[in-house]
Chains A and B, each alone.
Chain A
Amino acid sequence: MDQDNRIGDTLLEVKNISLSFGGVKALTDISFDIKEGEIRAIIGPNGAGKSSMLNVINGFYHPQEGEVWFRGKKREAMKPYQVARQGVARTFQNIALFKGMSTLDNLMTGCITHMKTNIFLQAIWKGPAEREELEFRERVEHIIDFLGIQAIRKTPVGRLPYGMQKRVELGRALAAQPKLLLLDEPMAGMNLEEKEDMSRFILDVNDVFGTTITLIEHDIGVVMDLSDRIVVLDYGCKLADGTPDVVRNDQAVIDAYLGVSHDD
Chain B
Amino acid sequence: MADSPKETSKISNDLDTFPKLLLDHAKKRPNKDAIREKDLGIWQSWTWSKAAEEISALANGLASLGFKRGDKLAIVGNNRPRLYWGMCAAQCLGGIPVPVYQDSVAEEIQYVLDHSEVRFALVEDQEQVDKMLEIYDNCPAMETIIYDDPRGLRDYDKTHLHDFEKLQDLGREFAKENPDYLLQEINKGSGEDIGIFLYTSGTTGKPKGVVMTNNNILITARNSVKFDNLTENEEIVSYLPMAWVGDHIFSYAQAYVTGFCVNCPESTETVATDLREIGPTYYFAPPRVFENILTTVTIRMHDASKLKQKMFNYFMGVARKTGVDMLDGKQVTAKERFLYWLGNILVYGPLKNTMGFSRIRLAYTAGEAIGPEIFDFFRSLGINVKQLYGQTEAAVFITMQPDGEIFADTVGIPAPGVEVKVNDDGEVIYRGPGVFHSYYKNEESTKETKNEEGWVLTGDAGYFADNGHLKIIDRAKDVGKFVDGTMFAPKYIENKLKFFPHIKEVVAIGDGKDHCTAFINIDLEAVGNWAERNNVGYASYQELAGHEEVYKMMLESIEQVNKDLSTDSLMSKSQIHRFLILHKELDPDDGELTRTGKVRRRIVAEKYGVLIDALYNGSKDCYINTEVAFEDGRKGSIEATLRIEEAETFTPAPATKGAN
Whether A and B are associated in the same complex: the answer reads yes
Since A1-B154, A150-B269 are in contact, a sample of 16 more A-B pairs with Cβ atoms closer than 8 Å, ordered by chain A residue number, is A1-B155, A138-B40, A141-B41, A141-B42, A142-B40, A144-B40, A146-B151, A150-B41, A150-B266, A150-B267, A150-B270, A151-B269, A151-B273, A193-B630, A204-B151, A208-B152
CA distance A193 to B267 in the complex (A): 19
A204 touches B152 (CB 8 A): yes
B151 touches A141 (CB 8 A): no
What 1/0 flags go to B228-271 for Cβ under 8 Å of A?
Answer: 00000000000000000000000000000000000000110110
What 1/0 flags go to B13-52 for Cβ under 8 Å of A?
Answer: 0000000000000000000000000011110000000000
CA distance A212 to B544 in the complex (A): 44
CA distance A144 to B267 in the complex (A): 11
State whether the Cβ of A71 lies closer than 8 Å to any Cβ in chain B.
no
What 9 pairs between A and B have smallest CB-CB spacing? A151-B269, A141-B40, A141-B41, A151-B270, A150-B266, A150-B267, A150-B270, A204-B152, A207-B154
B39 touches A145 (CB 8 A): yes
Count residues of chain A with CB under 8 A from any CB of chain B: 18
Chain A hits for B154, CB < 8 A: 1, 207-208
What 1/0 flags go to A123-159 for Cβ under 8 Å of B?
Answer: 0000000000000011001101110101101000000
CA distance A207 to B39 in the complex (A): 22
CA distance A1 to B152 in the complex (A): 12
The one of A144, A145, A207 in contact with B155, judged by C-beta atoms closer than 8 angstroms, is A207
Nearest chain A CB to B273's CB is how many angstroms away? 7
Count residues of chain B with CB under 8 A from any CB of chain A: 15
CA distance A137 to B41 in the complex (A): 9
Nearest chain B CB to A170's CB is how many angstroms away? 16
Chain A hits for B40, CB < 8 A: 138, 141-142, 144-145
Chain B hits for A145, CB < 8 A: 39-40
Chain B hits for A208, CB < 8 A: 151-152, 154
CA distance A145 to B149 in the complex (A): 11
B267 touches A151 (CB 8 A): yes
What 1/0 flags go to A209-232 for Cβ under 8 Å of B?
Answer: 000000000000000000000000
CA distance A196 to B41 in the complex (A): 26
Q: Which residue of A has the minimal Cβ distance to B265? A: A150
Q: Which residue of A has the minimal Cβ distance to B153? A: A207
The one of B41, B152, B630 in contact with A153, judged by C-beta atoms closer than 8 angstroms, is B41
Nearest chain A CB to B384's CB is how many angstroms away? 29
Q: Which residue of A has the minimal Cβ distance to B149? A: A145
Of B40, B152, B266, B273, chain A has the most CB atoms within 10 Å of the CB of B40
What 1/0 flags go to A19-40 for Cβ under 8 Å of B?
Answer: 0000000000000000000000
Chain B hits for A138, CB < 8 A: 40
CA distance A196 to B267 in the complex (A): 20
Q: Which residue of A has the minimal Cβ distance to B269? A: A151
A-B contact pairs, 22 of them (CB 8 A): A1-B154, A1-B155, A138-B40, A141-B40, A141-B42, A145-B39, A145-B40, A148-B267, A150-B267, A150-B269, A150-B270, A151-B267, A151-B269, A151-B270, A151-B273, A153-B41, A193-B630, A200-B152, A204-B151, A204-B152, A207-B154, A208-B151
The one of A144, A146, A193 in contact with B41, judged by C-beta atoms closer than 8 angstroms, is A144
Chain B hits for A141, CB < 8 A: 40-42
Chain B hits for A150, CB < 8 A: 41, 266-267, 269-270
What 1/0 flags go to B601-616 for Cβ under 8 Å of A?
Answer: 0000000000000000
Chain A hits for B152, CB < 8 A: 200, 204, 207-208
Q: Which of B307-325 contact A (CB under 8 A)?
A: none
Q: Which of B610-658 contact A (CB under 8 A)?
A: 630, 632
CA distance A192 to B155 in the complex (A): 25
Chain B hits for A146, CB < 8 A: 151
Chain B hits for A137, CB < 8 A: 41
Nearest chain A CB to B261's CB is how many angstroms away? 21
Q: Which of A227-259 contact B (CB under 8 A)?
A: none
Q: Which residue of B has the minimal Cβ distance to A207? A: B154
CA distance A161 to B154 in the complex (A): 31
CA distance A144 to B40 in the complex (A): 8
Chain A hits for B155, CB < 8 A: 1, 207
What 1/0 flags go to B372-409 for Cβ under 8 Å of A?
Answer: 00000000000000000000000000000000000000
Q: Which residue of B has the minimal Cβ distance to A151? A: B269
CA distance A101 to B266 in the complex (A): 22
Q: Which residue of B has the minimal Cβ distance to A153? A: B41
Nearest chain A CB to B509's CB is how many angstroms away? 33
CA distance A204 to B126 in the complex (A): 11
Nearest chain B CB to A162's CB is how many angstroms away? 15
CA distance A196 to B632 in the complex (A): 11
Chain B hits for A200, CB < 8 A: 152
CA distance A204 to B266 in the complex (A): 21
CA distance A129 to B40 in the complex (A): 21
CA distance A196 to B270 in the complex (A): 22
Chain A hits for B632, CB < 8 A: 196
Q: Which residue of A has the minimal Cβ distance to B39? A: A145
CA distance A144 to B39 in the complex (A): 10
Of A137, A144, A150, A153, chain B has the most CB atoms within 10 Å of the CB of A150
CA distance A204 to B155 in the complex (A): 11
Chain B hits for A153, CB < 8 A: 41
What 1/0 flags go to B57-72 for Cβ under 8 Å of A?
Answer: 0000000000000000
CA distance A102 to B274 in the complex (A): 18
Q: Which of B526-571 contact A (CB under 8 A)?
A: none
CA distance A145 to B42 in the complex (A): 12
Nearest chain B CB to A163's CB is how many angstroms away? 15
Chain B hits for A193, CB < 8 A: 630
Q: Which residue of B has the minimal Cβ distance to A138? A: B40
CA distance A138 to B630 in the complex (A): 35
Q: Which of A148-203 contact B (CB under 8 A)?
A: 148, 150-151, 153, 193, 196, 200
Nearest chain B CB to A32's CB is how many angstroms away? 27
Nearest chain A CB to B281's CB is how many angstroms away? 24
Chain B hits for A1, CB < 8 A: 154-155
CA distance A193 to B41 in the complex (A): 26
Q: Which of A1-59 contact B (CB under 8 A)?
A: 1
CA distance A138 to B41 in the complex (A): 9
CA distance A97 to B231 in the complex (A): 48
Chain A hits for B39, CB < 8 A: 145
CA distance A207 to B153 in the complex (A): 9
Nearest chain B CB to A35's CB is how many angstroms away? 18
Q: Which residue of A has the minimal Cβ distance to B632? A: A196
CA distance A208 to B149 in the complex (A): 13
CA distance A200 to B153 in the complex (A): 12
Chain B hits for A148, CB < 8 A: 267
CA distance A14 to B531 in the complex (A): 52
Q: Which residue of A has the minimal Cβ distance to B631? A: A193
Chain B hits for A204, CB < 8 A: 151-152
Nearest chain B CB to A207's CB is how many angstroms away? 6
Q: Which residue of B has the minimal Cβ distance to A140? A: B41
CA distance A150 to B269 in the complex (A): 8
CA distance A208 to B153 in the complex (A): 10
CA distance A1 to B156 in the complex (A): 9
Chain B hits for A207, CB < 8 A: 152, 154-155
What 1/0 flags go to B136-161 for Cβ under 8 Å of A?
Answer: 00000000000000011011000000
Chain B hits for A196, CB < 8 A: 632
Q: Which residue of A has the minimal Cβ distance to B272? A: A151
CA distance A204 to B40 in the complex (A): 18
CA distance A144 to B270 in the complex (A): 13
CA distance A141 to B41 in the complex (A): 7
Nearest chain A CB to B585's CB is how many angstroms away? 16
CA distance A151 to B276 in the complex (A): 13
CA distance A19 to B273 in the complex (A): 51
CA distance A258 to B266 in the complex (A): 45
What 1/0 flags go to A61-75 for Cβ under 8 Å of B?
Answer: 000000000000000
Q: Which residue of A has the minimal Cβ distance to B154? A: A207
Nearest chain B CB to A88's CB is how many angstroms away? 25
CA distance A120 to B345 in the complex (A): 44
